[in-house]
Amino acid sequence: MALLDWISADLDLRLSYGGVRLRPHRSSDFSAWSSLREASRAFLQPWEPTWPSDDLTRGAYRRRLAAYSQDMERGVAYPFLVFRKSDDTLVGGITLSNIRRGVAQMGSIGYWVGQAHTRQGYTTDAVKAVSCFAFDRLGLHRVEAACLPSNAASRGVLLKAGFDQEGLARAYLKIDGAWRDHLLFGLLSPALRERL
């Protein structure tokens, strides 16, 4: 992707909701991103896939950006960083991924927040921003999310963002080195909700 294409795509993918604004990752975000992830390592690792040994290196970050760029070009995933509006501080990240078209027209949301920024509404606002993006800009009719049954904070975020808890998936994702059960959540587009 040419530099101008990246800049245009970035400008087109700025989202805002409540107290946060979202945009795609940039090379210049590496220091803030790696610092926040490192400071929150013990807090995040129980809820995430096992981190590679080089996860917070500049080289791994460059590879991450290249993969993100390809995913966005193909329309299968849209990763964003989440910034507090009041002072432009990086507070976390969120991704709309596994976008399926055809008869599905849905995608999955996953997110993380730095430990210092929990319980301040940023993640709920980010989930709402990405849900609006999925429905209004991408034309999806359903967004899904999942969390560990023990993750009460994540369950609260999804419920506050309007998701319905729909079930339990056994051994759904490999988190922190083990296959773990997950609670499943879904949110239908406003247009579809009106018809039901």
Q: Give tens-digit pLDDT for 166-188.
A: 999 999 999 999 999 999 999 99
Regions in the chain scoring below 50 on pLDDT: 1-11
With CA atoms as reference, report the closest residue to 133 among 87, 82, 65.
82
Find the domain containing 138 and state its range.
Answer: 3-195
Model pTM score: 0.92
**What's the pLDDT score for residue 68?**
96
**What's the pLDDT score for residue 151?**
96
With CA atoms as reference, report the closest residue to 175 among 83, 65, 84, 44.
44
**What's the pLDDT score for residue 45?**
95
Question: What CATH number did the domain enclosing 59 receive?
Answer: 3.40.630.30
How, if at all, do strands 142-147 and 106-113 pair?
parallel
Would you give the DSSP letter of residue 136? I
CB 109 within 8 A of CB 130: yes
**What's the pLDDT score for residue 159?**
98
Cα–Cα distance measured from residue 71 to residue 23, given in angstroms and rounded to the nearest whole number? 15
**What's the pLDDT score for residue 185?**
98
**What's the pLDDT score for residue 1?**
38
- Number of separate domains in the chain: 1
The H or E element that residue 165 is part of is strand 164-175
Chain centre to alpha carbon of residue 54: 21
Cα–Cα distance measured from residue 168 to residue 162, given in angstroms and rounded to the nearest whole number? 18
